[in-house]
Structure 1
Amino acid sequence: MNPTNTSNPEPQEAPWATQAQPHRGRVAVVTGAARGIGLEIALRLARDGARLALADTDGEQLAAAAQAVRQAGAEVITQVGDLSLEATANELMAAALAAFGRIDILVNNAGGGVILPFLAHTPETLKRTIDRNLWTVLWCCRAALPVMQAQRYGRIVTLGADSVYSGLWDHAAYNAAKGGAHALATGLAREFARDGITVNTVAPCAVSTPQLVELGQKDPALVDKFLSIIPMGRAADMAEVASMVSYVASEQASFVTGQVISVNGGSTMR
């Protein structure tokens, strides 16, 4: 991939012409986009005017997600594969660059924890947790940053976790991976600040995803325990997370970088 060969160095349309479409003319890559928070983010960015490259390991669900995003008015391409592998991340960014000529926004949403008491983990579940939540972010950032640096513009938003601060039950291994992603963002934010690139983390608490609903059906007491530390007494809506991601990824947030922005109903307060 040659990041300097950007056939479209400027957005095709007048950028940010209205508050209703702050990402008009921009190109966003969203990982883990087949369902849940990733799909909600993709839909929000589509409504906000972005063209999208969507990635996930589940090809069937990703195709359905892409159709929903097209119906929201966006141009879309998709890439199926495991982003914890360097080659897959490189292929995703190359595909986005080939299709749209630039990469303005990277949303590192791919993840998913194996939520277990620490001593119940196996070497395999520990590796899977780190691969999903840290290596995916590392490789995608490494593949996208040269493109953004050549453009002198970029927005990287990683989905972190408020549990890194709250020390939520059964989340120790997950927090190790997400905490690494938080730390990566702050380091990259300083390193690339003068390249027109911002790097931030949006850290939700419990979110009303299909996965949380499924867990609530299996173990309602555990979900109630997770929600008990949230002063608002509920999980976040996926749209509440997506709206923060869209803002941090926008031109309006041009002086926000290196931050962990919690969307947590007050479960931690700093």
Structure 2
Amino acid sequence: MIKYTLFGLAGTALLSLGSCSKSSSDDAGTDSAKLEVRLTDAPGNFSAVALDVRQIEVHLKEENDPNGWQTLAFSPQVVNVLDYVNGKSALLVNTDFAPGDLKEIRLLLGPNSYVVGTDGQQYDLKTPSGQTSGVKLKLDKVTLRQRETFQLLLDFDVAKSIVERGNWRAGNDKKERYLLKPVIRLVAQDLKGGLRGTVNPAVARPQVLAIRSSVVGPDTVSTFADASGAFQLGALPAGTYQVQFFPTVAAPAGQPAYNKVVRAGVTVTNDQVTDLGVTKLN
């Protein structure tokens, strides 16, 4: 696990603010890696801190190579980072990637970022270069590996990141009151938690879904039991999951039907594989 702190890098806190809230299926035959970005926040003395995120790009080659940028697919959105405080985190990016190194990330912001102060008033929030050339974050030793998930957790400190202009005066509507100068603690780690088990009868060949709740919606990974009834899901973030089993084959005539089964409260711990044992489908 890699932990490092970044101070005063405009846009560092914003890396993950465009997203796919639901992960793609875990295909046992794929050679791709997965990149997951989560956001958490330390509270500040504001009612809202809304960031208008338009585009996120990652750089896969050397810094000066203009062809190294790859745009992540997500819907532009305005995100209130104060929704993710006190231990909550939001899954904002979860995407398949070719294995390899990530060198840099660039974020483009729109004109609609703002803060709401404790006075209930809304003020425009500007980030130097965020709306022109974009704001960048260099990554050190971030390597995506085949069939593994790499997580970037951004711990955004609102109290230190929102700076009031020294020349701002109440009633001056033409000057923005606040600037964004992010202070971020970034935790980067490989995710190696997993689930495994068997189903009975194996001929039901169920689809197996592992669903973890997050702030922005369910995070779902899936696979199928093999001909022996065995299944395994890898690269899962730690957390509590609901595991669902959906038979894809009907029971022969005269035999008990194969049923959908739901197992709630399944705990996944990083660097460990949780064994569910045998799950009976009839």
Q: Report the TM range for the smaller structure's normalisation.
A: under 0.3
**Counting strand residues as a fraction of each chain, which structure ranks higher?**
2
Q: TM-score, normalised by structure 2?
A: 0.26
